[in-house]
Structure 1
Amino acid sequence: MKMLIVYIAFLLFGLYELFASFNHQLFEANLLMISNLVVIICLIFARFNVHKAEQGSLMKVHMDIEDIHQVTLERIAYNAATYIQIALSLSFTATLVGFLLLRDTQPVIVLWSGILLLISFVSLFPSEKIVSITNPNFKFPDPQSKNYEQEYFNQFDDGEKYVMLKGLYGLYSLVTLCLVLLAFALMFYSIFTDNSQLVSIIGIGILLLLIQVRYTSSLKPSKLE
């Protein structure tokens, strides 16, 4: 709850700064400030959902609606995770763009983007209460373990693994399609503007290569011993 209050204070301060300097700074600076405010709003929604899920986990409900209550708490917890992911992506983009465009003229705004990026990244790691809601039997494996990823994955039951794999396959297909479309878009952009995007296109090609090879290799059966 304390973090929620801190985020709200950040939001109010950011709104004050935006309205006070809106007409006296570059359009890019205003856009970056708005992006930072959106990140803070996402963090507020995330923290609110976390608090709501934690409070809901303390409630005692009738056995007849226990499953419904558990699913509701899980949905709330995953809503919080979604807001955090949005905040992380926006703050990451804002930090990079701000550093390129505003590091000399508006370094404070860029610094705020970096701070929000750090906060969003730290927020990715769920509390024990949230983990107990989404997966009551989950136990984090030893970080020093050589098989950490496998041990982590084995914490989930078959149903959860199916949902995860289905989501990851959909993500794999979406990312591949988007990268291909982006490469074509950059090609046409280079043609019509005479502003070469060759390095970006090559980078996308390398990324596609790594994704495809990694995915195909993961499907290859292991050697029999």
Structure 2
Amino acid sequence: MFTITNTGLGDVDSSWAFPDLSFEWMIVLMVISVSLIILSVVKGMTIVKESKSQVSGDEEDELAELQNKRYYDGSLAVNTALFASSGMLALVAITDQPNVFIFISLGLVLLSLVMSFINAELVKYADPNREYPSVNDKRYAEKLMEMSDEGERHIMLQGLYRAFTSINMLLFFAVLMLIGYSVITGSSQLAGILIILFILIYTNAQYMLSIRKRSIR
């Protein structure tokens, strides 16, 4: 099945039409979401179970490192599940799909959100020797940075900066792709383009102004 949308940009060449694979993509996103949620649950249960182990010396260090990896693997899994389930919800909302998938996609989104909050608290089990702030604390990010040593702060800031630059580039290329898609298919993606541009402007302004304030001090 092929779909062509004409928005007044002229006749659209059918050779540029894209096959309607919305149902297949929806199933793929659902499977990914469910699999990652299960993975995050397994990781979380393992973290809690292993936190009760009585070890010392090198074994304690090895367990701490392993618990740390499990925690971040679980965090990545649940965050990806949230994005995948949101994509599934978007497909259900804008394409003609069976109504049952509306409830499934909403359920997966809500479950992913709940799991993200639960997973955030698991750090207390992964590293029980430190007193972490509550995720509900308004100053959570600040307190987390304050309790971290120089090495940990360096790793976190390095990761955040890399993520920031990657997001900038990816969103910029996404804008270019949406522009190209709009021109080729005649289906206007102007709303999405403007939203992405707003996000780019806002995040860059927030980052630069934050750096500017610190440099003035």
Contact 2:82 2:109 in 1 (8 A): yes
Confirm whether residue 180 of structure 1 aligns to residue 172 of structure 2.
Answer: yes
TM-score, normalised via structure 2 length: 0.78
1:193 positional shift: 2.4
Alignment of 1:12-27 (within 5 A): none
Deviations 1:22-74 (A, max 9, x none): xxxx9634542342222111111111111222222222234133212210111
1:133 positional shift: 1.5
Q: RCO (CA 8 Å, sep 6+): is it higher in 1 or 2?
A: 2
User: Which amino acid in structure 1 is aligned with residue 129 of structure 2?
Assistant: P
Matched with 2:50 is 56
User: Which amino acid in structure 1 is aligned with residue 43 of structure 2?
Assistant: N
Partner-residue secondary structure (3-state), 1:154: helix
Alignment of 1:1-225 (within 5 A): 28-102=22-96, 105-125=97-117, 126=119, 128-134=121-127, 136-140=129-133, 143=136, 147=139, 149-222=141-214
Partner-residue secondary structure (3-state), 2:53: coil
TM-score, normalised via structure 1 length: 0.76
User: Which amino acid in structure 1 is aligned with residue 187 of structure 2?
Assistant: N
Matched with 1:22 is none
Deviations 1:165-184 (A, max 9, x none): 11110110010001111111
Number of matched residues?
A: 196
User: Which amino acid in structure 2 is aligned with residue 139 of structure 1?
Assistant: Y
Deviations 1:108-130 (A, max 9, x none): 11211110110111111237554
Deviations 1:158-207 (A, max 9, x none): 22222211111011001000111111112222222233323322222222
User: Which amino acid in structure 2 is aligned with residue 217 of structure 1?
Assistant: L
CA distance in 2, matches of 1:214, 1:127: 25
Percent identity over paired residues: 20
Contact 2:44 2:122 in 1 (8 A): no
| CA gap 1:132/1:212 in 2 versus in 1, 3 angstroms | same
CA distance in 1, matches of 2:67, 2:111: 24
Partner-residue secondary structure (3-state), 1:150: helix
CA distance in 1, matches of 2:62, 2:135: 33
User: Which amino acid in structure 1 is aligned with residue 64 of structure 2?
Assistant: Q
1:75 positional shift: 0.7
Unaligned 5+ segments in structure 2 are 1-19
